[in-house]
Amino acid sequence: MLTVVSLISLLGLSHVSASHSRAWRTALAWNSLRLPSKDRRELGNLKSVFLSLAEFEAEMESGQVDDRVLFFITRGWQVESIRERVFLDALFLRNPAARVAFVATTPHLPLPELLQRYVHRGYSLHGVHVPVDRLLTTGWWLTDENRLWLEQQIHAGETVPYFYTHITDYLRFYLLHRFGALYTDSDSIFMQSAPTGEFVGLDFENGPALECPAWFFDPPGRLYAAPGVLRLYQSSEVASGVMVAAFDPRNYEPSCFNCVGPKALGESLQAASASLKGIQLLPQHALYPLSYRNAHWLLEADGFASSALFLAHLRRTSVAVHLFGGMTSSREIEPGSVVQLLASSDTLTALSPELVCSIGGSRTLVAKNHTLALDKASLVFVRDCPPLEDGAFVDVHVDFGALLSRPGTSRQHVRFGPASSLASINRGLAALEFTTSAASNTRHDTDRLFVSVVAPSGRPLREANITVLLFNRLVTVLVHTSGRAPMIQSLYDSVQMWFPGTTVLASDGSQAAGQTASPLGDCMSWVTVPPGAGASLARNTLVMAATTPFVLVIDDDWKLGPLSHLDVLLEVLHTSGFDIAGAGSPQDAAGLINSREFDRAEGRHMQQPSRGHERVEGCLRTDTTPQVFMARRSALLRSAWDLDLKTGEHEDFSVRAKAAGLRALSCDYVQVMQHHGT
């Protein structure tokens, strides 16, 4: 059995303060002492994790290709550090049905206890230990040149500058070509479930502004295809192109770090461009929201103005975040950092008695359309629960509008169990998808998702009451224009792209406008205003026409993009009780009172002097609002725009709103984009 001291060391927490250390010691001591006897017996059964070469290859061929995940262990893993635990926890929490396989090329056997704990919980984790000097016995090559390259690498050993890195590059592309799978570096932390199908992520080079090489995907934009997380299918032309071109002694440059990784991938993608119709090129924020030069911010307590705020941003915008271990492996994980928050929240392990059988994840979920998919909307999962082995089960109810006792509301019930494993429960939760019925389209404030872990006797062990906010039933977008229908069309299209089914109400004060104007889409309506109506009259009219409890006020020359987390604004208003939550933009952030700037290239939040203003739900309390904001409709009915002001009404509205007691927040990492048109 592991001791408390060894667990503290294994989790990489020896650097924390005395108070933090005592808390972690208590949590980890309980967890180690309560390990079920069956688990203790199986810790020594390496067969359940480590496979023979033939068994490993058979495992790689089994199951659906979109469920296969591959990673490599090239260094470390002799002790359990917090990095390895966060990596594996996040991988299985976001992809609970994954069949995860690893190749360990280390001279030593990786720590069995760390890997075994996931097998005990019912997750699929199998690997093979093939030290580098035995790779030539595998037959893992496509060409004679590949075999010769591998032979020369092994002979040279660690005298090659990037020995393990280039070995990993070689194995990644060979095994992807042969079997097809999702490959992930073991220092990538998943924030969402991986997309289906083949994909490659783009990364941003933020170094000196030198001319980017031709193999970059977008040299002017400094974007290149990165191989840290990607999925390719069996017999991939891209993977085979890398194997043939890069791993040939005649072409190999040992001192070039990128040549058999990003460079080879970029060149292969370009060569195969005619047949890339099925491969998604994911934008930078999806897999590499921070560059390798700045990944250390994720480990630092003061890396961001608010670690919790930036973590919330990552959860909504990124599939994964890369730690770039080569740049950060020597850095400690500080209490209060993004990674430490993940290590204490997104954990399958019950780190304290209070967390046994607990239900993890958010207590407020925002669904962007009529369907709530738990693996996409947010994380809901169960932690270690010994009673599950004795026949306990998990009940899940969803009540759409039940708290308001509206007739015709939908109540759905799903039961898992008796539970066979923690993994089976979490796989079931991740697969759940709730859709409102036709009878439940009446707009109302909140819905509820009830999750409970129930003992065999029927006694509830744990319960979670989760608020569900269905965006398109709670929010209406309001916009006024003067003869610029194409601008409204662009805004409408962006709203439907990011928040499908959301109603847009628009008014047009131009002489050409009239009651016969055609809607620009199924979820759009024109609201009639007098010709020449200014912004104040139009907005008051639009607020009166809306029927949802929240409205988004936006000008006609703005549109939504990947950072437009309007769901955050809705959640903030609902949770905080404030009346207004504003979005920021690159164009106007500098002009806001008490604002924070957002560097889009790096994604780092930098707080300006707050002048005593408080932070609420990760946003900053302000005396004014940006031009784009979400508000409670009832609040705008109490504090309308001044009808005498046709233009320049915004500052006056802010003064009137404050005098009326409306409370405003600036959530400036929620961004909208200004566009130009006619």
pLDDT in tens, 103-142: 999 999 998 888 998 998 899 999 999 999 999 999 999 9
Q: What is the pLDDT of residue 17?
A: 32
- Of all residues in the chain, the percent with pLDDT exceeding 70 is 77
Residue 29 clears pLDDT 50, i.e. is over it: no
Separation between Cα atoms, residue 329 and residue 395, nearest integer Å: 42
Beta pairing partners, 480? 507
Residue type, 456: P
**Helix 163-179 vs helix 53-61: crossing angle, to nearest 10:** 50
- Of all residues in the chain, the percent with pLDDT exceeding 90 is 36
170-179, 210-219, 514-523, 651-660: least confidently modelled range: 514-523
46 vs 379, higher pLDDT: 379
> Which of 146-160, 296-310, 613-627, 650-664 is the most confident on average?
146-160
pLDDT band for position 197 (50/70/90)?
very high
Q: What is the pLDDT of residue 575?
A: 87
Helix (H, G, I), strand (E, B), or coil: what is residue 74? coil
Separation between Cα atoms, residue 239 and residue 216, nearest integer Å: 17
Q: Label each residue of 505-529 as H, E or C.
A: EEEECCCCCCCCCCCCCCCEEECCC
**CA distances, 542 to each of 3, 486, 569 (Å):** 65, 19, 20
Q: What is the pLDDT of residue 371?
A: 65
Q: Tens digits of per-residue pLDDT, 415-447?
A: 766 767 888 888 888 877 766 544 444 455 567
Separation between Cα atoms, residue 663 and residue 673, nearest integer Å: 25
Residue 76 clears pLDDT 90, i.e. is over it: no
Q: What is the pLDDT of residue 15?
A: 30
Residue 12 clears pLDDT 50, i.e. is over it: no
Identify the CA nearest to 83 among candidates 10, 17, 144. 10
Q: What is the pLDDT of residue 561?
A: 84
Q: Peptide bond preceding 609: is omega within 30 degrees of 0, i.e. cis?
A: no
Residue 405 clears pLDDT 50, i.e. is over it: no
Separation between Cα atoms, residue 641 and residue 633, nearest integer Å: 13
Q: What is the pLDDT of residue 613?
A: 56
Separation between Cα atoms, residue 655 and residue 666, nearest integer Å: 16
pLDDT band for position 72 (50/70/90)?
very high
> Which of 197-201, 282-286, 289-293, 652-656 is the most confident on average?
197-201
Residue 38 clears pLDDT 60, i.e. is over it: no
Q: What is the pLDDT of residue 135?
A: 95
3-17, 162-176, 186-200, 464-478: least confidently modelled range: 3-17
Residue 629 clears pLDDT 60, i.e. is over it: yes
Residue type, 386: P
Q: What is the pLDDT of residue 288?
A: 93
Separation between Cα atoms, residue 649 and residue 657, nearest integer Å: 12
**CA distances, 666 to each of 105, 336, 586, 627 (Å):** 49, 23, 14, 11
656 vs 17, higher pLDDT: 656
Question: Which tokens sit at 253?
Answer: 């440059």
418 vs 2, higher pLDDT: 418
Residue 582 clears pLDDT 80, i.e. is over it: yes
Q: What is the pLDDT of residue 47?
A: 58
Separation between Cα atoms, residue 618 and residue 363, nearest integer Å: 16
Separation between Cα atoms, residue 211 and residue 193, nearest integer Å: 35
**CA distances, 10 to each of 83, 337, 360 (Å):** 10, 19, 23
Residue 463 clears pLDDT 50, i.e. is over it: yes
Q: What is the pLDDT of residue 511?
A: 60
Question: Which tokens sit at 494?
Answer: 């962006």
**Helix 112-120 vs helix 82-94: crossing angle, to nearest 10:** 20
Q: Tens digits of per-residue pLDDT, 288-306?
A: 999 888 999 999 998 887 7
Q: What is the pLDDT of residue 647?
A: 66
Q: What is the pLDDT of residue 263?
A: 92
Q: What is the pLDDT of residue 653?
A: 81
Length in residues, the chain: 678
Q: What is the pLDDT of residue 370?
A: 64
Are residues 429 and 382 in contact, defined by beta-carbon separation less than 8 angstroms? yes
Q: Could you give the count of Cα atoms lying within 13 Å of 499 in the half-sphere of its Cβ?
A: 29
Mean pLDDT of the chain: 79
Q: Tens digits of per-residue pLDDT, 531-568?
A: 878 888 889 999 999 999 999 999 888 889 877 889 88
115-129, 231-245, 567-581, 607-621: least confidently modelled range: 607-621
Helix (H, G, I), strand (E, B), or coil: what is residue 664? strand
Instruction: Find the DSSP H helices in 180-306.
Output: 237-246, 262-271, 284-287
Average pLDDT over residues 249-271: 91
- This prediction's pTM: 0.80
What is the phi/psi pair of residue 435, to 5°?
-125, 135
